[in-house]
Amino acid sequence: MKTLTEIASVIARHVSKDGFQATPIERVTLVRSSTVTMPMPNVFRPQLCLVAQGHKEVTLGDRAFRYAPGRYGVVTYDLPVIGHVVEATPNKPYLCLYLDFDPVMLGELALRVPPPPGAPSPPVAKTVSDAGAALLDAALRLLRLLDDPAALPVLAPLAEQEILYRLLAGPDGARMRHITFSQGRVARVGRAIAWIGKNFRERFSIERLAAEVGMSPSSLHEHFRAVTAMTPLQFQKQLRLQDARSLMLVQDIDVTTAALRVGYESPSQFSREYRRHFGEPPARDIARLRASPGLAVVA
């Protein structure tokens, strides 16, 4: 598709090396990887991810999502995921666009755009779909502004609104509206996700979390799993392990200190759970990441 090829061309011009590249367009980040990468943890914010070239896979709980050129993912809550590039070469690198959602802009548009017909979508907080021509056109208009700095301040908000409109009016419209909800069970799950994100280093019970968000423990457990593909305690565990990995890799903290800092009382339990999650013991995993930094690009 010509539009997708041009999107890839614009991204390639503005990202000269592997990794994440911030842009002059607020909330827009570009990503490039010239090689396949190892599975790496990340916390996805509410955002759009549109792949222009290459392939990647993202795992959320027990669900796997495959991205290919012209496919996009929508995330509606902060979610701990594992992602990796599975197809990329120096001559044809993986290229993608991230657009973080502006909740104010999205909320205002949601009031003006009629809900799509049909039954409400499931509340799962991540999906991957094929981008239609209208969404690709809107994304290209936004990216072209990187080559037109004078027009960027005026036209970028309009292009961003068009992208949000296309998402709200499309198959993900009902799911997108969950971001703007302040009441109901899905909104309470969103508050539970945010609470765990702030308190994942501390021990808590499902009863305490349920009381924090005004739900019964059984209802919270059921709806939390429907949205995140994980139980609250599995969600907490992923955040702890991801945080510990970052501490060891970036701050050069030893295994025991990292385990205690993220909330584990037993370093041996931490090592067992780390190996199950990442495939190797902590020390060996960190040594591998340091030896091959190019394989650690988060997609």
User: What are the tens digits of pLDDT across the range 29-75?
Assistant: 999 999 998 888 888 889 999 999 999 999 888 889 999 999 999 98
Assign 146 a pLDDT band (cuts: 50, 70, 90). Answer: very high
Domain definitions of the chain by residue range:
2-179, 181-229, 234-296
CA distance 62 to 228: 10
pTM of the full predicted structure?
0.82
User: What are the tens digits of pLDDT across the range 235-246?
Assistant: 999 999 999 998
pLDDT at 42: 84
What CATH fold (topology level) applies to the domain 234-296?
Arc Repressor Mutant, subunit A (1.10.10)
β-bridge pairing 47-53 and 19-22: unpaired
pLDDT of residue 247 exceeding 80, the answer is yes
Instruction: Please state the three-class secondary structure of the chain as a single string.
Output: CHHHHHHHHHHHHHCCCCEEEECCCCCEEEEEECCCCCCEEEEECCEEEEEEECEEEEEECCEEEEECCCEEEEECCCEEEEEEEEECCCCCCEEEEEEECCHHHHHHHHHHCCCCCCCCCCCCCEEEEECCHHHHHHHHHHHHHHHCCCCHHHHHHHHHHHHHHHHHHCCCHHHHHHHHCCCCHHHHHHHHHHHHHHHCCCCCCHHHHHHHHCCCHHHHHHHHHHHHCCCHHHHHHHHHHHHHHHHHHHCCCCHHHHHHHCCCCCHHHHHHHHHHHHCCCHHHHHHHHHHCHHHHCCC
User: What are the tens digits of pLDDT across the range 97-123?
Assistant: 999 999 889 888 988 888 766 655 556
Architecture of the domain defined by 2-179:
Sandwich (2.60)
Alpha carbon 243 to chain centroid, angstroms? 16
CA distance 2 to 162: 20
User: What are the tens digits of pLDDT across the range 156-185?
Assistant: 999 999 999 999 988 888 888 877 765 667
Closest residue by Cα to residue 29 from 58, 54, 49, 3: 49
- How high is the mean pLDDT of the chain? 89
